[in-house]
Amino acid sequence: MRPVVVPGVKGVKGFEHEKATEMHFFVPGNMVSCLDFVESVFGNAGNPRLSKNDAALDPLGWTGHSGMAILAPHLTRMTKKECGLPHISQATERQKKERMCWEKEDELYNDGKTFKMYCRDASGIICTIIADNYFGYCKKEVKTQISYSANLYGFAEEEHAGGAIARPSYDLGESCDASKYAEGYKFSEMIEKNKQSIIVKEEGYAIDKKYPEGIIYVPEDSIFTIEDASVKFNHNGKEESILLIPKVNYVLPNGYTIILHDTMTSRRWTLRGILPQYTLCHKPCTVSGGGKSEISKSIRDAVIEGSVFVNNKEEDFKAVQEIFDHDFSKRYANGEVKPIRILDPNVTLGTVVELLTPSRLFTKEHNDYISSISPLIVELVMTIKSLYREDWKGDWQSRITVDKINGNQGNELKYRGANLCSQYLRVGFERDETTWRVFQLRKDFFPAAKLQMEDDITASVIVPTKLLKTPINNMQKKACKIVNNCELRLFQRPDDAVFRGFDKQTEYDFSIPGHFISNYQPMTREEAKDFTKDVVRLYQYTEPMRKCLQDFVAGKDEAKYIVSSSYTRLVQEGDKLVGSKNPRYLQRRPDMLDPENTYMTFKAIQLFRKISDEEPLYTPVDAVLSGRRNNPPQVAKNGMKLRPLSVFAPLHYFELPELLMECITSMTGASPSMFGAGSEGALTKGPFNSLPAVVDLNNYLLGMICSIYADSYEYMSQTDKGVAMNYIKDGTVEGACPPLKALIYIMANGEYNGMTRESKEFRDMFDPEVVLNSEWYKERLITRQKLEINKLNKDLAYLNKTIAEKPRLAETLNKQITAVKEELQYVSSEEYLIDIDGSIGTDPYPYKCMKH
């Protein structure tokens, strides 16, 4: 396998080559499914004995590191002595504490339970033995070796992260004038910059070359109308019209996208507007169950609908009209007079929400008036505003109706013969865990348009902003972080799928063949027949899952077993069988499964930035939103009482020293340990790190400082003296960069060289200007240069050796030699050191001390 370690950055000298490590996996013959699993996630790089697959013959695409993993579950019978551990009389205090020694020769290593052990050196050679066969451990070992390579190579980080590009999305109603969404952009200018990717039609619009049926480019003056299913615009002094087709992306010159969408709103069809401006949310250092995957998922599955009611149509409609007629012009407390008419088409629904929400900006009289309006009437106002069209000329009452039931007026509002609906968001359970917590959404609400960028294993690189060839969202940063998802498929734990019909994505995935599924209960045809007899529960599933079960029962395929997304594997817990709490399946990457959406996302950003087809597009991280599980008080299986971690608001801001303290401890309520509620290790990478954790922490700190992030962090504030003390006891604190070293000592002892956490001298150590001008930071840049020079010289020697042994490859390899020599000349220059100033360089600590 050749998993990515350093993402390539197009057009940026010194960073343009994507670099991978190489890894060889060996398993017993009866565990070949584990090989199939990791290949599904990371790909298969081919037979390494063939020249075309030799990593060393691709020097600019290889980090220079090689790894091996061996599955050997039978080794659980090995003794501690056979594993090379010392007798207790010769053991260190730490070895005694962690039971890494023996008194009796027959003591089994790790008490005969599963384990892994590895050996590695500073040249980048690593070998791991895993005494287990669980799919997840195979994947995590690849993660470990990516991290090892990243830390030795420099520039890059392997991050335990999820992330997504999120673009705000709105319900635009049944018609809209698009000109207000594309101010400052011209269709003709857009055409000029995108000649390679679009085809212009004589009617004055254009289609995409790659997705001609799904992406249509329209002029900035386009008017969309659902009633006559048209998109109208002017072309050469004449009005042109094209058909408004459901699910097609109609793209304005600035990338703003309008789609005719069916949705759970007050009507069946609506216009959905998606902004081209985006935020790439990056969620690193997140404990298990902390939401790495969830950040990239749409919340649409959590949105439910409910009817809009009136108590009495005439009285309620009269109250609504009084609000429409009310004079709001003197609402501001500063005396500003500003007339506003709620049904004015130039007044947005968001403005109406602000108008009817009490605020200190408003007078007491205005706040008292809007507070006196019943919630039911406010909802009616918002519903009618969301539907209203200018050609109604104020007559909305005749268009909103109720049925007559037994001769009396009903209470359920209708529009065009269909029920009017409101949207509600389900947010967890109440304490009794039998009822959902539900909150009403705005009438113009639409879930953000998301594109998943990360899920669990991320390779990232910090690039100085000065080297980028085209603009990014924030050009003021010293550097920016580029992320790359290392996985081709995602090992998901769909916790919500136990609620039938709730996790629509998982139910759809389970309905199609070709999955790795773990910890779900297999059912024979007879068992499935009994399972589906419960018609009420069967029809709680979405159609794909329900139909899949019914087809299996009907014998429409030759499969012998089937699984249901809500029926996890039965495991023994005490004297009873319970459903597994760790159900997993290998999901196909959504961005690869829907390439049109992926393409459309990046195309919209490209248009917004006025970047041509030939220029590179960069989408670095905008917001770092680390997080953890907000555990309430818990009782562990062993009876230990765990302290609550839900002590802050959902969004909580930390300055860098406090944030780093959280990263060092990475506490969770899920797994109790000697450190109270449990630590998953620095940056949540404790079990997946083959180098001292201070190397990761050094890189993380520098990445934060170089990128100068200043966003809110979803973190729980709780540090642990015991975790910090471990770094001191094992000596790895000496590998921490100066601000991190000071912080670790303060965490452990409360002070360091007379400084406390509040000392100005200590906090100044985290100042970006101080860090980037320090000698220890410059040493990291020089280390990166020296290592790359050494690697490139070795690459040249290997290329020349291969040509001597295999002359038939000379033509191909001579091109590689030329490229490597050019790279070597650049890397050896002073220019290289200037260019990489702003990156994280390479930590010299692993090369200075390899005893840990």
- Tokens describing residue 457: 């294993």
- Cβ neighbour number for residue 227 with a 10 Å cutoff: 10
Question: What pLDDT is stored for residue 134 in this prediction?
Answer: 86
- Span between the terminal Cα atoms of the chain, in Å: 27
Q: What's at 673, amino acid-wise?
A: S
Q: Which of 680, 756, 764 is closest to 720 using CA atoms?
A: 680
What is the chain's percent helix, strand, coil content, to nearest 5? 35, 25, 40
Q: How far apart are CA 380 and CA 352, in angstroms?
A: 12
**And the tokens for 438?**
């539900």
Amino acid at residue number 271:
L
Residue 134 near residue 687, CB atoms below 8 Å: no
Torsion 356-359-363-369 (CA) sign: positive
HSE, side-chain direction, 13 A CA sphere, residue 452:
29
Q: What is the DSSP string of 108-122?
A: BGGGGS--EEEEE-T
C-alpha separations of 239 from 181, 227, 248 in Å: 20, 18, 21
Q: What pLDDT, on a 0 to 100 scale, did the predictor assign at position 672?
A: 36
Using a 10 angstrom Cβ sphere, with 0-12 exposed, 13-18 middle and 19 or more buried, the burial of residue 145 is: buried
Task: Please give the single-letter amino acid code of residue 2.
Answer: R
Check if the beta carbon of residue 90 is closer than 8 Å to that of residue 122. no
- DSSP sequence for 165-181: EEE-EEE--SEEEGGGG
User: What pLDDT is attached to residue 136?
Assistant: 85
Contact 269, 226 (CB under 8 A): yes
Within 13 Å, how many C-alpha atoms sit on residue 129's CB side?
Answer: 11
Write down the residue that tokens 């609000």 correspond to.
323
Alpha helices in 482-583 (DSSP H): 504-510, 525-531, 535-538, 543-553
Cα(818)–Cα(812) distance, integer angstroms: 10
Here the tokens at position 371 are 């507070």
| pLDDT per residue as tens digits for the range 406-432 | 988 899 999 888 888 888 898 876 666
CA distance 706 to 82: 47
Any idea where the domains of the chain sit in the sequence? 1-154, 157-168+275-296+448-488+589-615, 169-273, 306-424, 491-587, 776-848
Q: Give the pLDDT of residue 675.
A: 40
Q: Quick one: pLDDT at residue 640?
A: 66
Q: Which residue positions in the chain have pLDDT lower than 70?
A: 263-268, 289, 429-433, 628-632, 634-650, 667-679, 708-720, 850-852
d(CA 752, CA 350) in angstroms, rounded, equals 52
CA separation for the pair 102, 113 (Å, rounded)? 16
